[in-house]
Chains A and B, each alone.
Chain A
Amino acid sequence: MGAIRSTPNVQPHHRHWRARGTVATVVLGLSISLLACQHNAQGDRITVASAGRIASLDPAQASTYGTLQLLSALGDTLYRRDSDGTLRPQLAAQPPQLSDGGLTVTIPLRRDVLFHDGSRFNAEAMAFSLRRFLQIGTQSYVVGDRIRAIETPEPYVLRLRLNRPSSSLESLLTSQYLTPISPKAYLNHQDRFLNNNFVGTGPYRLSSYTATQQRLVPFRRYWGPAPVNGGLDLINLSNSTALFGALRSGEVDVLLSDSLDEDQRLALDRRAEQGQLQASAGPALQIGYVTLLSNHPPLQQQLVRQGLAHSLDRELISARVSHHQRQPLRSLVPPSLRGGKPQPWPVYNPQRARTLLSQAGYCQGKRLQLPFTYRSNVPSDRLMALTWQAQLNRDLADCVALQLEGVESTTVYRHLGEGAFKAVMLDWGGSYPDPEAYLTPLLSCTQSTGNVCEEGEAVISGSFWTRPGLEQTLRRSDSLLGQERLKLLLQIDRDAAEGAAYLPVWLVTPKAWAQTRLAPLEFDGSGQLQLARLREKR
């Protein structure tokens, strides 16, 4: 009571406290302004932002886009795909030489290459790196059963003995997973990962590393063209808004788009159109697709799957989900790897879809209730599911209805091979730019009965679909070269379209945005941004 009534006594103190508060606010404001006005001198170093932590720098452990992009700056591979798709020797001195009916691959190596620790790159070092990857590499299955033995007949000649002829091997040798590492530096890590360091042969060497920030400096004894910038500061932010904001505020020079929200991609593109930023795109190598469970009702009927294939309005989905940024796709193989050949999956045709579903026994008072799972932690998947559901309600309401279910991606992948999902939205990016890297992981089947795959990649992919002779055709395609091989691979793609156990939906293009003071950005044929070529305009 006393306190409430005693305001006249307190008033001067109140003013006193208020004055102190005002002074404190002014001091705080001035401090922040002072801090804000200080800029870091960066010289000609370039700051590049991307999403997600870099948990390990070991090529044997790498799997994320960000890690592979980083490895492309710190290391070299034997071969590299140019932006026009041409295979170019990098650490190899010449193209691979085939002999023994394609069972032996001989690769002459460059003699002027040093690792960042000063040791020399040679055939032993390359063999060490390959053997280590095959032994402990988490993605070693990409090599599969191809390599029988790795030999070093001469100090600068690597020889691979194969179990079967493999024309996709040359593309495989462009993969960042097979980046050579210094045997000297990895002596104590032959059978375990070295997460916080990397000693390779690339144009940059690692100066400092944390999972969220990496500092790269040019490697002065690099065998190839020196980087055109003074070094790279890579920063990994945990969400799309932060990435977007970092570029807009000028805090970073370059932004890689691997997990930027669609709206923000669009906003950045619009700023690029207005000349406030610049945008660049690489070859689209990541596909989004729906897997249909083909060995259980109701989707064991090919007619139903084909009906669904005709029902998918990819143009609408692309527009609603990504403002047309995701290119509609009607093939399991990205167009850049198809040699311009037409895509085999049917275009959107609701009348044909109705006919096929009617033939399967639906539409005449019987509605197909199809559970459709999407990865709840992937926003574009959810939008795709909602759009397709609405589109089917509009076009084929009496025939089919989707029942949506969001499941976290870890759980999806855990149960995919158990046939837990009737229909599920997924994505896939080949480990190297070759049609085989898309078809085999989705279609390969080592044991089957009729059209049902019982063991193999088709099981792991959740479709359980195969076709008699498909595995042999896949194998045979890997023994052919050039147009003959491409023709066979596209035939496999057509077979898969007819089977309709997968519904390709869209293609994701790797993009990067940069401040306008930088020279145009360049991607290579594997979809990696050429970090060593980042520079300010002269």
Chain B
Amino acid sequence: MARGRELLRYCATRLALAPVMLWLIATLVFLLLRVAPGDPVDAVLGSRAPADAKALLRTRLGLDQPLLQQYEDFITGLLHGDLGSALINQEPVGQIIAQALPASLELSLTALLVAAVSGLAVGFSGIARPEGKLDLAGRFYGIGTYALPPFWVAMLVQLLFAVILGWLPVGGRFPPSLVPPSGSGFLILDSLMSGDWVALNGALRHLVLPACTLGLLLSGVFTNALRLNLRRALRSDYVEAARSRGLSETQVVLRHALPNAMLPVLTIAGITVASLIGGALLIEVTFSWPGIALRLQESINQRDYPVVQGIVVVVAALVVMVSVVVDLLVALLDPRVRY
């Protein structure tokens, strides 16, 4: 009961802190954008537009208001769920995010799946013979994949599988000759829901390279985490106790050591998916994947304040949400966790 209350208090604290964190992030990005050199009006009209046209647009966009007023408008809008409109083409920021976020989530979740499956498989494969060839290979794999520069690997993969072998598309998210299925914005899901197998094939073909590249580059983290935690778990007293009860090594590993070793991996997976949503920029750029990171980069270049603010706030909210969920899951699964 005492633990239940503790957990509840912890949840309440985390949930209460989340808005504060989001407010801090929103304020920071608002201020940083305003002190960054460059002018969104120039980005919209070009530097050659007449001064009166620039002044008119500045007024229309509210950029002539004092900074405090702009900040107040931004926060008020945020509290009402209004992220504003893009300066460049007046498209609602919510709509921009709704279009780009599914692409990023689709890529991130698939990459996470690839990372988890391949990373854990490699991490697990060496456990039978520690310091053996497989274990050593796993260690190199863990370090190597983590150390490789993503843009370089992405370009090599692109050249090999798309350009030289011609197996998979070079970039983009969907075949240009097809009309993307409408619905949630998750093209694989939408294709499945509509039973459009040609579209599904097209969406999968475009997803394979970026997701596998990103996933394999991240898999080393999972490999190392599992290797270290599993080895530690296999040396623990409760594993010795299990062995002494006559359980087979497979049972010992799968039932006793692995679940305990997986707890830190769960935390890593949470952090990884959260960071992937906004952080897969190099992969999105290389594979022309129309996700939120690519959109964020373009908006920063154009000094499109509302789009940058909106994307950062939404990504931050997702990161906070995922980290809270992961913390709670870990707390629920591991009775040793105290708050």
Does A238 touch B at the CB level, under 8 Å? Answer: yes
| B47 pairs with A245, CB closer than 8 A | no
Verify A234–B162 contact, CB threshold 8 A.
Answer: no
What total of A-B pairs shows CB separation below 8 Å?
193
Whether A242 lies near B288 (C-beta < 8 A) is yes
- A35 CB–B CB distance under 8 Å: yes
Contact of B174 with A53 in the complex, beta carbons under 8 Å: no
Interface size class, chain B? 35 or more
Segment 226-281 of A: residues with Cβ below 8 Å from B: 233-239, 241-242, 244-246, 248-252
Q: Which residue in A1, A207, A413 is a CB contact (below 8 Å) of B179?
A: A207
Interface pair A35/B204, CB less than 8 Å apart? yes
A86 an interface residue at 8 Å Cβ cutoff?
Answer: no
Q: Does A42 sit within 8 A of B, measured CB to CB?
A: yes
Assess the B88–A55 pair: CB atoms within 8 A.
Answer: yes
In the complex where A35-B204, A61-B89, A249-B166 touch, is A1 in contact with B235 (Cβ < 8 A)? yes
Contacts of B294 in A (CB 8 A): 238
Partner of B168, one of A1, A35, A193, A235: A35
CA distance A32 to B208 in the complex (A): 8
Q: Within 8 Å of chain A (Cβ to Cβ): is B124?
A: yes
Most buried by B among A1, A21, A58, A138: A138
**Beta-carbon contact of B290 and A33 below 8 Å:** no
Contact of A245 among B49, B163, B248, B285 (CB under 8 A): B163
Q: How far is the CB of A134 from chain B (nearest CB, A)?
A: 11
A206 CA / B249 CA spacing, docked (Å): 64
Within 8 A of A (CB), among B203-243: 204-205, 208, 231, 234-235, 239-240, 243
Partner of A414, one of B37, B124, B250, B253: B37
Contact assessment for A248 and B163 in the assembled complex, using a CB-CB cutoff below 8 Å? yes
Chain A residues with CB under 8 Å of B53's CB are 140-141
**Complex CA distance for A193 and B202, rounded to whole angstroms:** 32
Q: Is the CB of A414 within 8 A of B177?
A: no
Residues 159-190 of B, flagged 1 when their CB comes within 8 A of A and 0 if not, give: 10011011111111111111110000000000
Contact A208 B179 (CB under 8 A): yes
Instruction: Give the number of chain A interface residues (Cβ < 8 Å).
Output: 72
Contact B121 A21 (CB under 8 A): yes
Question: Beyond A13-B249, A33-B167, is A410–B239 a contact (Cβ under 8 Å)?
Answer: no
For B179, the chain A residues whose CB sits under 8 A away are 207-208, 215
Report the minimum CB–CB distance from B49 to chain A (whole Å): 5
Chain B residue at smallest Cβ distance from A18:
B125
The verdict on A249 contacting B170 (CB below 8 Å), with A10-B128, A42-B177 known, is yes
Task: Report A-chain residues with C-beta under 8 Å of the C-beta of B176.
Answer: 47, 213, 215, 233-235, 252
Residues from chain A with a CB closer than 8 A to the CB of B287 are: 242
Query: Contact check: which of A14, A45, A193, A410 meets B42 at CB < 8 Å?
Result: A410
B60-105 contacts to A (CB < 8 Å) = 88-91, 99
**B1-9, B142-150, B297-305, B318-326 - interface stretch:** B297-305
The 8 listed contacts between A and B (C-beta, < 8 Å) are A56-B88, A215-B177, A249-B163, A249-B170, A251-B162, A413-B46, A417-B47, A460-B47
Give me the interface of A with B, judged by CB distance under 8 Å.
1-4, 6-7, 9-11, 13-14, 17-18, 21, 32-33, 35-36, 38, 40, 42, 45, 47, 53, 55-56, 58, 61, 63, 138-141, 192-193, 195, 207-208, 210-213, 215, 233-239, 241-242, 244-246, 248-252, 377, 408, 410-411, 413-417, 441, 457, 460
Shortest Cβ-Cβ A-B pairs, 7 listed = A3-B234, A36-B167, A233-B176, A14-B128, A410-B38, A242-B171, A245-B163
